[in-house]
A and B are shown apart, each in its own frame.
Chain A
Amino acid sequence: MSINGKAYIAGVYEHPTRKATDKSLAQLHAESALGALKDAGLTKDDVDGYFCAGDAPGLGPLSLVDYMGLKLKHLDATETGGSSYVLHVGHAAEAIAMGKCSVALITLAGRPRAEGMATGTAPRNYGSSAPDVAFEFPFGPTVVNMYAMCAQRHMYEYGTTSEQLAWIKVAASHHAQYNENAMLRNVVTVDEVVNSPMIADPLHRLDCCVISDGGGAIIVTSPEVAKTLKRPLVKVIGAGEAPKHQMGGKVDLTYSGAVWSGPMAFDEAHVKPTDIKYASIYDSFTITVLMQLEDLGFCEKGKGGAFVSDGNLIAGTGKLPFNTDGGGLCNNHPANRGGLTKVIEAVRQLRGEAHPNVQVQNCDLALAHGTGGSLGTRHGSATVIMERE
Chain B
Amino acid sequence: MTVKQRAFPSPIADPDTEQFWSAAKNGKLMVGSCNSCGEKHYYPRGICPHCGAQDITLVEASGKGEIYSWSVLRRADPPFAIAYVTLDEGPTMMTNIIECDLDTLAIGQRVKLKFSETEEADGPPVPTFVLD
Contact = CB atoms under 8 A, between A and B. Distances in A.
Interface of A: 121, 128-129, 131-142, 144-146, 148-150, 152-153, 156, 197-203, 246-251, 253, 377
A150 B94 contact: no
A135 B73 contact: no
B99 interface: no
B94 A134 contact: no
A-B pairs with lowest CB-CB distance, top 4: A249-B91, A248-B49, A134-B11, A148-B71
B41 interface: yes
A376 B122 CA distance: 30
Interface in B91-119: 91-96, 107-108, 118
A141 B126 CA distance: 14
A201 B92 contact: no
Nearest to A151: B71
Contact of A121 (B16, B31, B73): B73
Given A131-B16, A134-B17, A149 B69 contact: yes
A140 B128 CA distance: 12
Interface string B58-94: 0000000000111111111000101110100011111
B47 to A, nearest CB: 10
23 contacts: A121-B75, A134-B43, A136-B94, A138-B9, A138-B11, A139-B8, A139-B82, A140-B73, A140-B96, A141-B94, A149-B69, A149-B70, A150-B69, A153-B68, A156-B69, A199-B74, A200-B75, A201-B72, A248-B91, A249-B41, A249-B92, A250-B92, A253-B68
Given A135-B11, A152-B71, A248-B49, 20 more contacts: A121-B73, A121-B75, A121-B76, A133-B11, A134-B11, A134-B12, A135-B94, A138-B118, A139-B128, A140-B6, A142-B73, A144-B73, A145-B71, A149-B70, A152-B107, A199-B73, A248-B42, A248-B50, A248-B91, A253-B84
A129 B94 contact: no
A250 B10 CA distance: 25
Contacts of A131: 16, 43, 45
Given A128-B12, A156-B107, A248 B41 contact: yes
A139 B94 contact: yes
B69 A153 contact: yes
B74 A138 contact: no
Contacts of A203: 71
Nearest to B79: A200
A201 B97 CA distance: 14
Interface of B: 6, 8-14, 16-17, 21, 31, 39-43, 45, 48-50, 68-76, 80, 82-84, 86, 90-96, 107-108, 118, 126, 128
Contact of A200 (B48, B72, B84, B107): B72
Contact of A152 (B8, B43, B69, B74): B69
Contacts of A132: 43
Given A131-B43, A135-B94, A248-B50, A200 B8 contact: no
Contacts of B45: 131
A128 B72 CA distance: 25
Nearest to B125: A138
B73 A139 contact: no
B12, B31, B48, B86: residue with the most chain A Cβ atoms closer than 10 Å: B12
B68 A129 contact: no
Contact of B11 (A137, A198, A200, A201): A137
Contacts of A249: 31, 40-43, 90-93
